[in-house]
Amino acid sequence: MAVKKKLPALKRLIKKIEKVTHVRPATEEELAALQKLAGGKLPEEAMEFYSHYSFEGIVRIDEYIDLYGINEIVRWNTDAVPGFMVLPFGLLTVASWVDGDAICIDLNSVGEKFGYGGCYTTQVIRQCSHELFSEGEEITFYRKALGGLVRLPYTRENVVALSPYVTNDFSYLLKRLRDGELRYIELTKTLDDYEKKRLQETAQES
């Protein structure tokens, strides 16, 4: 029997939300809409959180992160960038930085490889750039070492490669929001890391 994941102590986070808006349990219809949006893959800790602590609209946490209520999660994943551009590849937007970069649950990360032969055992949290994943048929950016203008098709592999890991899972995301410990990842660092990896792969192939 699977062990049910527990939510972290959230009193401080809930107080932050309650300063802005009313907190209430989600309705069955809201939870069904959220799970449908996630293709039935919403992590149980996320379901548990919204079951008890639903709210309307957007709540700004510590002046730099916007946490979304269920209605806004639906809107940002169906009618805003980068949300609707990355959802088809398993990245569900649940919050964003004030500059527009999305904070996403990677619904498909369990079992995928990372680093030196390891595999993710949880649905990790990633940051998705609103500059990279804007409307268009390709992901484009400039890197001199990679030949200048880089054009990549929208695939899960490419989207994930350009969406840096933020933290272990939704529970850890809540902890970091509670404690003010979430750190923004600059796009330049994301592209530097991508360039380094691609150059290493090219060197290994030659």
CA distance linking residue 192 with residue 194, whole number of Å: 5
The string of DSSP letters for 100-147 reads S-EEEEETT-TT-EETTTEE--S--EEEE-TTTSSSSSEEEEEEGGGT
82 preceded by cis ω (within 30°)?
yes
List the chain domain ranges. Answer: 11-135+164-183
Percentage of the chain with pLDDT > 70?
A: 97
- The predicted model gives 153-169 an average pLDDT of 98
- Alpha helices by DSSP H, the chain: 11-18, 28-37, 44-52, 70-78, 83-86, 156-161, 170-179, 187-205
Q: What's the token pair of residue 115? A: 């680093």
pLDDT, tens only, 44-85: 999 999 999 999 999 999 999 999 999 999 999 999 999 999
pLDDT, tens only, 74-116: 999 999 999 999 999 999 999 999 999 999 999 999 999 987 7
- At 5, the pLDDT band (50, 70, 90 cuts) reads low
pLDDT score, position 2:
44
pLDDT score, position 204:
87
CATH class belonging to 11-135+164-183: alpha beta
pTM of structure: 0.94
Taking 80 as the threshold, does the pLDDT of residue 165 lie above it? yes
